[in-house]
Structure formats: C-alpha cells, structure tokens
Amino acid sequence: MSSWFPRWRRVDAARQDLVAPDETLPPAQTLLMGVQHAVAMFGSTVLAPLLMGFDPNLAILMSGIGTLLFFVIVGGRVPSYLGSSFAFIGVVIAATGYGGSGGNPSIGLALGGIIACGAIYAVIGLIVMAMGTRWIEFLLPPVVTGAIVMTIGLNLAPVAVSSVAGSNFDAAMALVTILCIGLAAVLTRGMLQRLLILVGLVAAYAIYALVTNGLGWGTPIDFSIIEEAAWFGMPAFTAPTFSPHAMVLIAPVAIILVAENLGHIKAVGAMTGRDLDPYIGRAFLGDGLATMVSGASGGTGVTTYAENIGVMAVTRVYSTLIFVAAAGFAILLGFSPRFGALIQTIPGPVLAGASIVVFGLIAVAGARIWVQNQVDLGENTNLIVAAVTLVLGAGNFSIDFGGFTLDGIGTATFGAILLHLVLRHGTGGGRGRAI
C-alpha cells in the first residue's frame, strides 16, 4: 500500500522540461515560486471579499489555511491553491442585502450559508470517493455548467454598474480602471499577463491617487489608516448565524464549485500527464472542509484557482510543495493589519471598475465551457436549457417556498439541471434540431 504523501524527489528545473507534482525544487526556489503563486491569487482573493463586505485580511488568512488543509486531505498529490470564490458573490449579496461599500453588517447570515455549502460539497466528495465522477458528469454536462457559470456573471452585472451610477467622476474612474485592466491584458506578456487584475488595479489606484490627492478632484484616498495600523496582529473573526433562508440560498453554490474543481483537476492532469482522477473525491472533500472552516471563522467560501493553474502552465512547475510555501506566505499576510488597511484604501470607483471586468469574465467563462466542449446549440435540448437558464439568472427570477426565497442564481442552477434531465429523457437524448 502506498503512503498517504508521496516521496518528493528533488530535481533541477533548468535541466528538465516539467517538474511533476511529486517532485520538488531546492528550498530557495520553492519559496520564491510559492510567493509567486501567492501573488497570482492575491488580486481575486482580495477583490471577492471586498465585493461582499468581508474582511480581506481574514480571507487571505483562511485561503492559506484552506490550502494547507486541502494539501493534507489530497495527500500532497494535487497541485492547487484555494482562494476566495466569486461564485458566492451573487447569493451572498442577495442573502444579506449588502449595499456594496464598507463592511457587511449581515455577514453572519452569509457565513452560515457558506458552511452549509461546504458541508454539501464535502458530502459530494465522500460520494465521489465511493462511486466515482460519472454521475456528476451526467447531472452537470457542459451545457448546464456553462449556462450556470454565465448566469452568475450576468446576475451580478447590475450590482457593479449601479455602484457608480450616481457620479460622473466615479463612473469615469471606473472606466479608467477597466481600461487599465484591458491594457494589462493585451500589452503584457507571461506572468504579468496572468496577473492582469492585480496589475490593472495597481495602475488604476495610482491614477486615482494622482487625480484626487494630487490634483484635488473627487474624494481623496485616506492613507492615515495605513500608518495607524500595526504591522502584525490578529484579524477580526466573525461567528456565523444559521438562517434557513440564507442557507437555502447559498448552499446550491456547491454545484458550481464541483464543476469548477472538476474542470481544474482535469486540466492539471492533462498538463502534467498524470492521472489525477483517483483524487477528485478527496479534492472535493478538502475544498468542502476548507470552505466550512473559512465560513466558521468569518472568511469567504474557497475554491481552486484558475490563476494559479495559469502560473503552473507558464512555469511548468507543478510541485505540490510550492503551494505549502504559498499558503504560508498568505497566512503571514493575513496576520498583518497594515496589509488589510492598505486594501481598505482601494477607492470604490476602482473597485467597481474591477468588478465590472471580473463579472464579465465570469460570464465569458461560461461561454468558454460551451466552446471548449463543443456544445451544439443547434440541438433543441441544449438551446432551451441555455436560453431559459440565462434569462432566469439575468432577470433574477425568484421563487418563494413558504418562508424561503430562491433567488435568480439558485433558480437558474436547479432549473438548468432539472430542465436538462426532463428534456433529455423526453427526447431520448435531445437530438431535435433548433427551430
């Protein structure tokens, strides 16, 4: 019987094309690569909690702890970093009524829902460990997962746009932020291009500081909170509140996390030439438990990060020990109130511009799933499932069940799954052609 953890073999990256998950670089290189992965996840992991009114310091801390927990549960065999999931944004805003600026006064409600989501996710992981993934692929074919992911982005669009609707200056700075991120996406190469959100945010932040603090336009950035904050200290933990309404609203996000994690593991397996399918159940379990631990402390739900998969694709270094180093660096940042104060100075218009890009990228990611899997929208089953799901989500179609309300994303998620099952069964596989 093989051991739980592999025996990592030290290699020289300069002498071989690829560093496998069970191989390791010298300690100094491992640490540097770990910092690089921490930077890669930084932009999104900070942005997500800000958009939900969570403490970004705590989110960073829990992403590091969650990554270590994931590493232990998968036995150090799946290279992955767990960061704040954007899939929670829409349902958290719906469950808490968050206004889009400052701390979320109803964060406890969101945390209870995040824990419920993590529990369902973990149970799915246990089922996969016992039964395999075929049933997931049956319930969540690409047409369904693509439509659900696209729906999340479209459902969030009004939130981002409305936050800058009242001021021409704020709207202009949001557009500047979008332009900065866009230029970072097309003008940079390699690692900088992978960090386009972070690079664009930094550039927009600098421009905003120049025109406000320097030229006196708009609301200036208050840098005094950075000077007043300590270098090291404990983050602010928040206890969850278990509201049935919020739990029913947020828990279905587990379906998105399953599809997301499954896709990421398949992608990494293809890039490394290793069969990682035996560890999918463990990966779901680890991600689910990490989400529960994060929610119990006041952090966001977590998921495997495409940004870090992108870094691995660029560097061709897949050693799982690198993610231990990245997690350690994230934990150090989480215990720095000064770091958190710096994040809190990000102006609202800059944050709004970044959110417009991110929400749009989420929507496009759904379309990419269709393209990559060659989903035929000429088939009536696929066409109807996609069309109905998008309208339910974008229009925020809600259904009341007694004292519960299932909002747009939840309705679209369950609707897509059920509609596909019914139409597939009714047509013998959905071969009818589109009108």
Per DSSP bridges, beta strands 399-401 and 9-10 are unpaired
**pLDDT value at residue 431:** 55
Which pair of structure tokens corresponds to residue 6? 């592999």
How far apart are alpha carbons 104 and 108 in whole angstroms? 9
**What are the mean pLDDT values of the chain's consecutive 10-residue runs (435 residues total)?**
78 71 84 78 77 87 94 92 85 81 85 94 93 82 85 76 76 89 82 71 89 84 81 86 88 83 79 83 94 93 78 78 91 84 80 79 81 87 91 81 64 85 69 56
- Its sign, for the CA torsion 92, 98, 100, 102, is negative
**pLDDT value at residue 1:** 43
How far apart are alpha carbons 221 and 229 in whole angstroms? 16
How far apart are alpha carbons 407 and 94 in whole angstroms? 7
Cβ atoms 147, 366 nearer than 8 A: yes
**pLDDT value at residue 110:** 92
Which pair of structure tokens corresponds to residue 21? 């998950």
**pLDDT value at residue 228:** 82
Query: What ranges do the domains of the chain cover?
Result: 19-427
Side chain identity, residue 393: G
- The torsion angles phi and psi of 76, rounded to 5 degrees, stand at 65, 25
Cβ atoms 157, 90 nearer than 8 A: no
**pLDDT value at residue 16:** 67
DSSP 120-139: HHHHHHHHHHHH-SHHHHHH
